[in-house]
């Protein structure tokens, strides 16, 4: 048998050599995203990144184009705030200020508007509203069951959403690198993801493939309200007790009260959990059964809760200073 002839050497023209792909690294900044205060840590993380990926589950091509124009300095934060109707001091206001004139590519890995997963989100909202209707009608066992179903559906929604986000990250970042000449000679591309702290499972998923992936929390100690803790426990297949579900009903009203007082969402979560920790499952059941008797549809905390807290001698702060005074012992 004759030896196989070697293949002729094929010279690659200059300029057509295969370029080595840059290393892509991720950093995740976890924070609440309600107010500008919540986004303060973004000031430190943003300058270090090459590509910025904010959380936005309802984005459209127009919203993305606006953010890219903002990055190029073609539109001002003020004009974009006015266009989208965001209130002052919102997290988007801070986001816009940081992105402005940065010249950094902005992309979304999140779900776009009218995504098929919206049907789960619609069911989630229905279950949440039904649970509160049952609660205020005095049907406590049914309310708990509806809330348990809500948590299960919301957890499934987040899990599927995060799977899509992870898949989109790889394809969209590669496309962004290819379409931006500024990355031609860079050996490493740093990608910053800004996410709510409920989405820590995405960090664990990314870390399996990229062990060096860091994460940072905007506020520590990090405290989840009962709703977020319930959803996270479901996502991690952990037990969810009735008491945790029940506290969601009371915390819902406390959140509304404190959001009118303070702009630090983590501080609000901490004071809400501190107050709800003093309430038992049986007490919440009785609140449900007696709700209609004192429900006058007033603004602020419902009268039945005001009476309940007064009778239990639980002080409900009315100012941010009072919130700080109650939380201060935890910090010392």
Encode pLDDT of 125-164 as tens digits: 999 999 999 999 999 999 999 999 999 999 999 999 999 9
pLDDT at 238 over 50: yes
pLDDT above 70 covers a percentage of the chain that reads 91
Which pLDDT band holds residue 7 (cuts at 50, 70, 90)? very low
Provide the CB-side half-sphere exposure for 329 (13 A, CA).
4
Determine contact, residues 275/316, Cβ cutoff 8 Å: yes
44: its two tokens:
């430190």
Q: What is the pLDDT of residues 184-237, one digit of tens each?
A: 888 999 999 999 988 988 888 888 887 778 888 887 778 999 999 999 999 999
**Confidence (pLDDT) at 218:** 80
From the list 262, 188, 195, the residue with the least C-alpha distance to 45 is 195
- Structural element, H or E, at residue 29: strand 23-30
From the list 211, 329, 226, 206, the residue with the least C-alpha distance to 273 is 226
Dihedral pair phi/psi, residue 27, rounded to 5°:
-135, 135
**Confidence (pLDDT) at 46:** 96
Q: Which residues contact 173 (CB under 8 A, 6 or more apart)?
A: 24, 51, 107, 189, 191
Choice between 23 and 65, residue whose per-residue pLDDT is larger:
65
184: its two tokens:
């031609």
Cα 220–chain centre separation: 16
> Strand pairing partners for 90?
35
pLDDT at 250 over 80: yes
From the list 184, 175, 123, 117, the residue with the least C-alpha distance to 151 is 123
pLDDT at 3 over 50: no
210: its two tokens:
């990229």
- C-alpha distances in Å from residue 292, one per residue of 27, 111, 251, 304, 312: 49, 40, 18, 9, 20
Q: What is the pLDDT of residues 38-59, one digit of tens each?
A: 998 999 999 999 999 999 988 9
Which pLDDT band holds residue 17 (cuts at 50, 70, 90)? very low
Q: What is the pLDDT of residues 301-320, one digit of tens each?
A: 899 999 999 999 999 999 99
Determine contact, residues 158/231, Cβ cutoff 8 Å: yes
Q: What is the pLDDT of residues 199-208, one digit of tens each?
A: 988 888 888 8
**Confidence (pLDDT) at 63:** 95
How many angstroms separate the CA atoms of 151 and 142, rounded? 14
Q: What is the pLDDT of residues 78-116, one digit of tens each?
A: 999 999 998 888 999 999 999 999 999 999 999 988 899
Choice between 288 and 299, residue whose per-residue pLDDT is larger:
288
Q: Name the E strands within the chain.
A: 23-30, 51-54, 188-195, 215-217
Choice between 16 and 83, residue whose per-residue pLDDT is larger:
83
Cα torsion for 83, 86, 91, 94, to the nearest 10°? 50
Determine contact, residues 187/154, Cβ cutoff 8 Å: no
């Amino acid at each position: 048998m004759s030896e196989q002839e070697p293949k002729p050497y094929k010279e690659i023209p200059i300029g057509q050599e295969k370029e080595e792909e840059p290393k892509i690294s991720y950093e995740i900044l976890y924070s609440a995203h309600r107010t500008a205060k919540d986004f303060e840590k973004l000031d430190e993380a943003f300058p270090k990144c090459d590509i910025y990926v904010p959380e936005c589950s309802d984005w459209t091509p127009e919203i993305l184009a606006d953010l890219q124009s903002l990055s190029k300095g073609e539109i001002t934060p003020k004009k974009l705030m006015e266009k989208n109707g965001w209130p002052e001091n919102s997290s988007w206001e801070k986001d816009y200020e940081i992105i402005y004139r940065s010249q950094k590519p902005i992309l979304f890995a999140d779900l776009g508007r009218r995504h098929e997963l919206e049907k789960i989100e619609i069911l989630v909202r229905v279950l949440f509203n039904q649970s509160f209707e049952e609660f205020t009608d005095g049907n406590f066992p049914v309310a708990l069951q509806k809330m348990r179903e809500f948590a299960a559906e919301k957890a499934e929604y987040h899990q599927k959403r995060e799977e899509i986000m992870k898949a989109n990250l790889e394809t969209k970042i590669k496309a962004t690198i290819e379409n931006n000449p500024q990355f031609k000679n860079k050996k490493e591309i740093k990608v910053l993801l800004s996410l709510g702290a409920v989405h820590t499972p995405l960090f664990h998923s990314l870390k399996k493939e990229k062990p060096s992936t860091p994460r940072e929390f905007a506020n520590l100690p990090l405290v989840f309200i009962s709703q977020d803790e319930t959803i996270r426990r479901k996502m991690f297949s952990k037990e969810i007790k009735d008491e945790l579900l029940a506290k969601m009903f009371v915390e819902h009203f406390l959140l509304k009260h404190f959001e009118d007082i303070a702009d630090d969402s983590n501080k609000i979560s901490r004071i809400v959990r501190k107050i709800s920790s003093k309430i038992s499952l049986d007490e919440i059941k009785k609140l449900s059964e007696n709700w209609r008797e004192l429900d006058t549809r007033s603004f602020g905390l419902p009268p039945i809760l005001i009476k309940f807290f007064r009778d239990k001698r639980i002080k409900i702060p009315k100012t941010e200073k009072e919130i700080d005074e109650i939380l201060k012992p935890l910090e010392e």
